[in-house]
C-alpha cells in the first residue's frame, strides 16, 4: 500500500517537474472569441482561418452565438474576471474603448505602422480602433446601416421611380399599400426600430442634425423642431407596417422582401447576405438604395478584432500574424464579399464585389471625403451602451404606440440625460 | 481464556466506539463540501451583489462605494416601474389562476374516474418542457399571422380576432396564459397528493351527516389542504419573480417594453447596458421582495412543532 502511494507521489512529482520544462505553446495558436456563427458569417471567418492555417497558426474557435454579441460579451467579462482572456475577440464600438480604458487590450501600433493602417482606414473608424494614440483594434469591415432593400418584383408592380427623398418614399409606400403589398417589412425589436430611426433623423435634418443630436447629444439639437419632425415621421412609418411585426427577427423581415410580400426593409447591409443566400441577384431580384434623402452620408457599424494582453509579455507570433492578416487587401476583399459589408480599408479594389458592394464602397469613399461617415447610434458606434439603450426605450415605445409623438419628443432628451 | 475474552471484548468496544464516532461525523463530512459551496456561491454572491448595488459599477465591477446612487437611478427609470407593474399583474394572475385551476383539476380527477392514470401525466407533462420551448411554441400559436387567429380565419371564422401578443396593453396576459399552461398541471399534482392524504372516514362521516358535496369541499377538504396551498403559493411566487426565459422566448420584453419584468430588466442593465450598479440594485430589490414572501412562511413553518 505504502509502496503504491509512494509511486503515485513520485509520478505526480515527475509530472509537476516536467510541466514547466515543456513549451507553453507547441505551435503558434490563437483562440478567438466571436459570434459569427450564421452561414455567411462563418464562411467569411473560414477565410481568415485558412489564411492563418497556411501560415502554421492553429485556430481555436470560441464562438458564442447571439446577434449583436451580447452573449459573447458576457462570456468575455467572465473570462476576464477569471484572468483567462482569449487571444483575440470580435468587438464593437464603445466596448473596445471601455476595454482599452480598463487596460486589457494589447498595443497593435507596431503592426499598424508597418502595414499603413493609418492612411487606409477612415478616421471615423479609427476613433474606435485607437486609444490614447495607440492602435488597439483591427477593423475588419464597415457595415452601413442607412440602406433600404427593395423587392424588384414589388417595385415593378408599384411602377414608380426609385424614391430619392422622404416624400417620394411615402408616395411609393402609399401606392404599394393600395396594391395590397406590405409597404414596410419591419422586425419589431428595439434595435431594428432604432436603426430605422437613425436614417429618419438623417433624412430629416441631414448629417448635421444627426451628429449633434444622436452622437454629441446636444441639448439644443435634441429639443429642436427637426427632431419633433423625425418622431412624427417615425410614427408615420408605423402605419406602413403589418400588424404582426412585434418581436419579428430582422431576417424574417428580410425574407418578406425576398418573397415579394413586402416592398422594402430598412436595414444594415448584413441583410444582403440573406438575399444572396436565397440565390437572389442585386439589380435583378432586389435593389439596394440609400435610405431616401441620405445619399452622401454613411452611418456605420464596424466589426473589429481586439487582442488581449497576457501579462506583460509582448503580442505572440500567432496574434501578430492574425492582426497582420486581417488588414491585408486580399483578406479584406475575400471576407467582405461573403459578409456583405465594405472593407474597412478604403484602398481595397472593388473588382470582386457585386453591384451593391461596389456602391457601398463608393459611398464609403464619398462619405470619408465629405466627412459624413458617422457612427450608427443604434449599433453602438454613436453613443455608449447606456445611452444607446435609453434611446431604444423611447424609440420602441413610440413605434409600438406606448408614447405619442409629443411624449416621445419630450421623453427622449430626459432618458438620455438619465443614462449619462 | 478469560484474558483473551476480555481483550476481544475491549477490541469490540473500541471498534464500536470508532464506528459510532464515524456515524456521528459522516453526515457532516459528506455535507461539508456542498455546504461550503452554497455558502460561497449563493450567500457569498448575494453579499457581493448587495455590495455592487452600492457602487457605480458600469461594465466591470468597481469597489468604490457610492451610497444610494444606483438605487436613485433605478427608481428614475420608467421601465423599472413598468417592470414592477408587470410583475404585479403577472404574479397575481399566474399564482391565482394556477392554484384555482390546479385545485379544480385535482378535484375532478379525484372523483375516482376511469383513465386517471392517462389523464394525470397529460396535465403534468407541460412541466417537463422548458420555458424556452413553452415560450416559443406559444409565440407561434398566439401570433396573429401564423397561429390561432390565422387558422380560425382560414377555417371561415373571418371575424375572429385575437392579437394580444402584438398588443402593448394585452401582451403581459399572454405570458400569464403560457405560464399557467405550464404550471397548472404541477399544481394539480400537488393538490391531488393533498386530496389523497385526506382521511376517507371524515368524508364518509360528512356524507352521513347529510352535507352536500359543495359543503364537504368548502368546509372540510379545502381547509384540510391548507399546507398544500402554502407550498403551491411559495413555489409559484418564486417562479413568477424569477421568470425570465419565458418572457424572452415569448415576447422578448416587447412590444415596446410592455412585457418588461424585473428579471429581464436586471439582465439587460447588468450585462447589455453596462450599468451593473443599477442591475445589482434591481436584483437586491427582487431579493427583498422574495424574502418578504418567503421569510414569514419559513417563520411559521419553523415555529410549528414537527408532527
Torsion angle (degrees, nearest 10) of CA B34, B40, B43, B47: 180
pLDDT digits (tens, 9 = 90+) for A304-354: 999 998 877 788 889 999 999 999 998 999 999 888 889 999 999 988 899
Lowest mean pLDDT among A65-69, A116-120, A159-163, B165-169: A65-69
Task: Tell whether the model's pLDDT for residue B5 goes beyond 80.
Answer: no
Residue B296: pLDDT over 70: yes
Model confidence pLDDT, tens digit, residues B16-43: 788 888 888 888 888 999 999 999 999 9
**B274 to A386: CB separation less than 8 angstroms, yes or no:** yes
Instruction: State the pairing for strand pair A286-290/A147-151.
Output: antiparallel
Residue range A70-105, pLDDT digits in tens = 788 888 988 988 888 999 999 988 889 988 988 889
Query: What's the average model confidence in pLDDT over A359-384?
Result: 92
* CATH fold label, A144-300+364-419: D-Maltodextrin-Binding Protein; domain 2 (3.40.190)
Predicted confidence (pLDDT) at residue B119 exceeds the cutoff of 80: yes
Answer whether residue A40 shows pLDDT above 80: no
- What are the structural domain ranges in chain A? 29-143+301-360, 144-300+364-419
CB contact under 8 A, A243 and B144: yes
pLDDT recorded at residue A288: 92
Whether B174 has its CB under 8 Å from any CB of chain A: the answer is no
Decide if pLDDT at B13 tops 80.
Answer: no
Instruction: Decide: residue B289, CB within 10 A, 0-12 exposed, 13-18 middle, 19+ buried.
Output: middle
Q: What is the pLDDT, as a whole number, of residue B201?
A: 86
pLDDT > 90 in chain B, percent: 33
What is the rounded CA–CA span in Å between residue B79 and residue A414? 13
Banded model confidence at residue A229, pLDDT cuts 50, 70, 90? very high
B144 shares contact with chain A (CB less than 8 Å): yes
pLDDT at B6: 64
Q: Which of A73, A77, A396 sits opposite B254 (nearest CB)?
A: A396
- Give the model's pLDDT for residue B146: 82
Sort out which chain A residues have CB atoms less than 8 A from B254's CB and list them: 188-190, 246-247, 396, 400
Q: Give the closest-approach CA distance of A58 to chain B in angstroms.
A: 31
Q: What is the pLDDT of residue A231?
A: 95
What value does the mean pLDDT take over residues A275-303?
A: 91
Q: What superfamily would CATH give domain A29-143+301-360?
A: Periplasmic binding protein-like II (3.40.190.10)
> What is the chain B residue with the closest CA to A95?
B59
Q: Which of A98, A245, A418 sits opposite B59 (nearest CB)?
A: A98
Identify the residue among A247, A378, A402 best suited for mutation to test binding to B, counting B beta carbons within 10 A and taking the highest. Answer: A247
Distance between first and last Cα of chain A: 67
The answer to whether A29-143+301-360 and A144-300+364-419 have equal CATH topology is: yes
Mean pLDDT, residues A203-232: 94
pLDDT tens-digit readout, B40-97: 999 999 999 999 999 988 877 888 888 898 999 899 888 899 999 999 999 999 999 9
d(CA A262, CA A177): 10
| pLDDT score at A365 | 92
Please identify among residues 6-65 of chain B the ones whose CB lies closer than 8 Å to any CB of chain A: 58-60
Residue A15 scores a pLDDT above 50: no
Cβ atoms within 10 Å of A58's Cβ, excluding its own: 15
**DSSP reduced 3-state for B63:** coil
Angle, CA of A374, A375 and A381, to the nearest 5°:
170
Report ipTM (2 d.p.): 0.74
State residue B304's pLDDT score.
Answer: 62
Q: What is the rounded average pLDDT of the residues A2-13?
A: 48
Contacts for A342-349: CB closer than 8 Å, 24+ residues apart:
A342/A141, A342/A142, A342/A143, A342/A144, A342/A269, A343/A141, A343/A142, A344/A121, A344/A122, A344/A125, A344/A139, A344/A140, A344/A141, A344/A142, A344/A302, A344/A304, A345/A117, A345/A120, A345/A121, A346/A120, A346/A121, A346/A122, A347/A119, A347/A120
* pLDDT at position B175 over 90: yes
Which homologous superfamily does the CATH classification assign to the domain defined by B72-303? Answer: MetI-like (1.10.3720.10)
Average pLDDT over residues A272-277: 85
- Give residue-wise pLDDT tens across range A132-176: 999 999 999 999 999 999 999 999 999 999 999 999 999 999 999
Looking at the predicted structure, is the pLDDT value of residue B299 above 50?
Answer: yes
Query: Quick check: A289 pLDDT over 90?
Result: yes
The pLDDT tens digits of the residues spanning B230-286 come to 889 888 988 898 889 999 999 888 788 889 999 999 998 988 888 899 999 999 999
Query: What rounded mean pLDDT belongs to chain B?
Result: 87
**In this predicted structure, what is the pLDDT of residue A16?**
44
* Residue carrying C-alpha cell 401582451: B171
- Cβ-in-10-Å burial (0-12, 13-18, 19+) of B306 comes to exposed
Amino acid at each position: 500500500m505504502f509502496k503504491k502511494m509512494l509511486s503515485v507521489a513520485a509520478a505526480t512529482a515527475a509530472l509537476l517537474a516536467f510541466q514547466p520544462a515543456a513549451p507553453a505553446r507547441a505551435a503558434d495558436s490563437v483562440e478567438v472569441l466571436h459570434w459569427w456563427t450564421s452561414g455567411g458569417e462563418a464562411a467569411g471567418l473560414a477565410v481568415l482561418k485558412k489564411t492563418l492555417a497556411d501560415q502554421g497558426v492553429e485556430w481555436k474557435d470560441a464562438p458564442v452565438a447571439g446577434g449583436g454579441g451580447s452573449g459573447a460579451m458576457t462570456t468575455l467579462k467572465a473570462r476576464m474576471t477569471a484572468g483567462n482572456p482569449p487571444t483575440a475577440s470580435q468587438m464593437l464600438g464603445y466596448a473596445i474603448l471601455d476595454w482599452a480604458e480598463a487596460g486589457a487590450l494589447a498595443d497593435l501600433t507596431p503592426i499598424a505602422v508597418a502595414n499603413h493602417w493609418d492612411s487606409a482606414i477612415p478616421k471615423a473608424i479609427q476613433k474606435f480602433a485607437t486609444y490614447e494614440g495607440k492602435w488597439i483594434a483591427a477593423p475588419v469591415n464597415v457595415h452601413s446601416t442607412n440602406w433600404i432593400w427593395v423587392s424588384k418584383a414589388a417595385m415593378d408592380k408599384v411602377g414608380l421611380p426609385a424614391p430619392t427623398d422622404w416624400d417620394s418614399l411615402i408616395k411609393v409606400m402609399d401606392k404599394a399599400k393600395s396594391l395590397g403589398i406590405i409597404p414596410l417589412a419591419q422586425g419589431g425589436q428595439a434595435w431594428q426600430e432604432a436603426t430605422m430611426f437613425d436614417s429618419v433623423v438623417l433624412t430629416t435634418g441631414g448629417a448635421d442634425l444627426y451628429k449633434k443630436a444622436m452622437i454629441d447629444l446636444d441639448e439644443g439639437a435634441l429639443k429642436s423642431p427637426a427632431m419633433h419632425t423625425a418622431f412624427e415621421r417615425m410614427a408615420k412609418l408605423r402605419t406602413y407596417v403589418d400588424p404582426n411585426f412585434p418581436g419579428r427577427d430582422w431576417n424574417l423581415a428580410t425574407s418578406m422582401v425576398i418573397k415579394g410580400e413586402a416592398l422594402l426593409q430598412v436595414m444594415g447591409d448584413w441583410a444582403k447576405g440573406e438575399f444572396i443566400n436565397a440565390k437572389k441577384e442585386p439589380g435583378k431580384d432586389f435593389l439596394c438604395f440609400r435610405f431616401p434623402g441620405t445619399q452622401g452620408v454613411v452611418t456605420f457599424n464596424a466589426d473589429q478584432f481586439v487582442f488581449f494582453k497576457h501579462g506583460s509579455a509582448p503580442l505572440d507570433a500567432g496574434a501578430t500574424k492574425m492582426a497582420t492578416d486581417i488588414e491585408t487587401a486580399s483578406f479584406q476583399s475575400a471576407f467582405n464579399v461573403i459578409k456583405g459589408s465594405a472593407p474597412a480599408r478604403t484602398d481595397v479594389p472593388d473588382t470582386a464585389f457585386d453591384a451593391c458592394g461596389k456602391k457601398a464602397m463608393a459611398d464609403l469613399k464619398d462619405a470619408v471625403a465629405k466627412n459624413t461617415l458617422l457612427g450608427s447610434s443604434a449599433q453602438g458606434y454613436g453613443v455608449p451602451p447606456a445611452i444607446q439603450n435609453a434611446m431604444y426605450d423611447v424609440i420602441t415605445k413610440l413605434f409600438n404606440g406606448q408614447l405619442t409623438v409629443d411624449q416621445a419628443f419630450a421623453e427622449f432628451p430626459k432618458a438620455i440625460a438619465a443614462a449619462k | 481464556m478469560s484474558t483473551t475474552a476480555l481483550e476481544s471484548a475491549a477490541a469490540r468496544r473500541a471498534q464500536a466506539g470508532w464506528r459510532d464516532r464515524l456515524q456521528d461525523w459522516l453526515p457532516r463530512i459528506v455535507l461539508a463540501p456542498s455546504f461550503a459551496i452554497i455558502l460561497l456561491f449563493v450567500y457569498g454572491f448575494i453579499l457581493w451583489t448587495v455590495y455592487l448595488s452600492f457602487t457605480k459599477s458600469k461594465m466591470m465591477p468597481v469597489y468604490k462605494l457610492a451610497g444610494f446612487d444606483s438605487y436613485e437611478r433605478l427608481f428614475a427609470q420608467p421601465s423599472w416601474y413598468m417592470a414592477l407593474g408587470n410583475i404585479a399583474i403577472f404574479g397575481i394572475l399566474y399564482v391565482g389562476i394556477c392554484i384555482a385551476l390546479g385545485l379544480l383539476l385535482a378535484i375532478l380527477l379525484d372523483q375516482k374516474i376511469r383513465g386517471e392514470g392517462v389523464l394525470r401525466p397529460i396535465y403534468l407533462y407541460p412541466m417537463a418542457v422548458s420555458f424556452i420551448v413553452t415560450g416559443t411554441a406559444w409565440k407561434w400559436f398566439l401570433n396573429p399571422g401564423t397561429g390561432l387567429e390565422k387558422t380560425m380565419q382560414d377555417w371561415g371564422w373571418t371575424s375572429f380576432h385575437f392579437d394580444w401578443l402584438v398588443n402593448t396593453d394585452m401582451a403581459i396576459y399572454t405570458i400569464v396564459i403560457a405560464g399557467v399552461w405550464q404550471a397548472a398541471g404541477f399544481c394539480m399534482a400537488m393538490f391531488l397528493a393533498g386530496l389523497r392524504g385526506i382521511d376517507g372516514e371524515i368524508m364518509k362521516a360528512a356524507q352521513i351527516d347529510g352535507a352536500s358535496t359543495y359543503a364537504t369541499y368548502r368546509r372540510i377538504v379545502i381547509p384540510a389542504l391548507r399546507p398544500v396551498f402554502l407550498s403551491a403559493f411559495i413555489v409559484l411566487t418564486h417562479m413568477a419573480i424569477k421568470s425570465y426565459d419565458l418572457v424572452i422566448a415569448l415576447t422578448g420584453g416587447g412590444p415596446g417594453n410592455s412585457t418588461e419584468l424585473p428579471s429581464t430588466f436586471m439582465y439587460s442593465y447588468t450585462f447589455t447596458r453596462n450599468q451593473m450598479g443599477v442591475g445589482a440594485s434591481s436584483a437586491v430589490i427582487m431579493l427583498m421582495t422574495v424574502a418578504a414572501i418567503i421569510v414569514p412562511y419559513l417563520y411559521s413553518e419553523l415555529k410549528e412543532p414537527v408532527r
